[in-house]
Amino acid sequence: MPASALTSDTLTRIATFADLPPDVLEWLLAHGEVRHFAPNEPVVQPGDEAEFMMASLEGGLQFFAVRNGNREPIFRVETGQVSGVLPYSRLRVIQGLGLANGETTLFLLHRKHFPALEQVSPELVQRLVGLMNDRARQETRGQERDDKLRALGKLSAGLAHELNNPAAAIMRATEALDNRLRAKPALLLELVQHCPDPAALAKLAAVASATPELPPAMSSLDRADQEDELADWLETQGVPDGYTLASGLMSAGLTLPQLQPLIEALPELSRPSALAWLEGQLTTLCLVRDVKEAGGRISTLVGNVKTYSHMDRAGDFSPLNVQEGLESTVNILSYCMREEKVTLTRDYAPNLPLVKGQVSSLNQVWTNLLDNAIDALPPGGEITLRTRLDGDFVRVFIIDNGPGIPPDVLPHILEPFYTTKAAGEGTGLGLDIALRIIEQHDGRLEVRSEPGHTEFCVWLPKVKS
């Protein structure tokens, strides 16, 4: 249906077109077109070319972001509102899905007419540019929020996995400790019933109270041979199942030459209970050591989260060690790197000076750059973190050996909303956010890329002494 079927009065119902001179309205009617859409009919879809300014004469549009096959509502265009491509917009490809909200009638103006529109009505172009700026600010805020939420979800999943391992180790150890501690009184009673010599008992107690040593490194075959030898000897001492105790005694660092003189000093009838008590005591100490290590791992992770999230510092700028921020970010993202079998190489400069900045903001930069590098790499790829001092600047390099950024893409890689990912998989804001944060720190962001080497370099001014 041509726009000539409409009247100027109909167009003035669009708020942006109100109070325009009659000749401008006539020009719009002559160069635009009208299209009708049934309820829920697609108006635009991800991957479509962005061609038209759209003004809703009747009904409206509901826009969705499509991620992993799921629709997420992002904004709605009501009757009388303008959407779509506007003058000076750099949008070339539609990222979302737009469905008609009820019976919908749209007035469309192709972007090829924008240069002529600027000559016909600079006032209308100014209104449309203002509308685009307002929309861009709202969308940027929403996309930044969504981007942070997605990053938080990914980090939370990795952190949950990292915490699960030591937490599960603690649960296993406490269950084993409970079983062994309950068995100790009976073993002790059985041991003392045979009235062992106090001196021999003192030697046994000294070994049992010593910190267990980790067994020396050996091949699986050698360990199996030594374990068999120890199990056979234990059975000669009256232990019903030598293999049950042999593994625990060896894990505590005890060998057959150490055990023989210790046990031979005890009455023969007391030896099975003495060996069982000794193995139980040493295994208990090993389990306590495991609990301490797992608890320490959890404390380290919590410390990394505090450093990463800036929980223990004020929100203003302060002197920072960029390598500490890099390390806390790496620890938070370590699960993602392990999943992709990514090798990480650190090449840190010694005695690097501090920079003045915000921990949480810079950690967001490291997260965005590292996350992009991980996404760009095939399984088994390599990431290099490098720091250097260059005059008054600290330079941070994040390098990957992936396929590289195509030459036609590289000039646009830092532009907002520009993404090389499939429609719905990326916002195109990660690098733009990183760039704005770095500029707020009086720094700059550079990128160069060729097949097998993509390098992002962040320049940050050092703290002057």
From 190-204, 305-319, 382-396, the region with the lowest mean pLDDT:
305-319
Same domain, 335 and 443: yes
Residue 119: Cβ within 10 Å count? 9
Note down the domain range covering 405.
310-461
Structural domains of the chain, count: 3
Q: Read off the CATH number of the domain in which 365 is found.
A: 3.30.565.10
Q: What pLDDT does residue 152 have?
A: 60
Cβ atoms < 10 Å from Cβ of 447: 16
Residue 112 pLDDT > 50, yes or no? Answer: yes
| CA separation for the pair 62, 42 (Å, rounded) | 10
The answer to the question of residue 136 being in a domain is no
Assess whether 289 and 365 both reside in one domain: no
Please give the helix or strand (H or E) that residue 383 lies within, else none.
strand 382-390
pLDDT interval class at 2 (50, 70, 90) = very low
pLDDT interval class at 123 (50, 70, 90): very high
Q: How many residues does the chain have?
A: 465
- 127 falls within a domain: no
Using the 3D structure, point to which of 120, 146, 166 is the last residue of a domain: 120
**pLDDT at 346 (0 to 100):** 94
Higher pLDDT, 338 or 439: 439
- Whether pTM exceeds 0.75: no
Higher pLDDT, 121 or 284: 121
Q: What is the mean pLDDT of the chain?
A: 81
What CATH number does residue 111 fall under?
2.60.120.10
Q: Which helix (H) or strand (E) holds 287?
A: helix 271-309
Distance from C-alpha of 56 to C-alpha of 78, rounded to nearest angstrom? 7
The Cα 395–Cα 456 span in angstroms is: 10
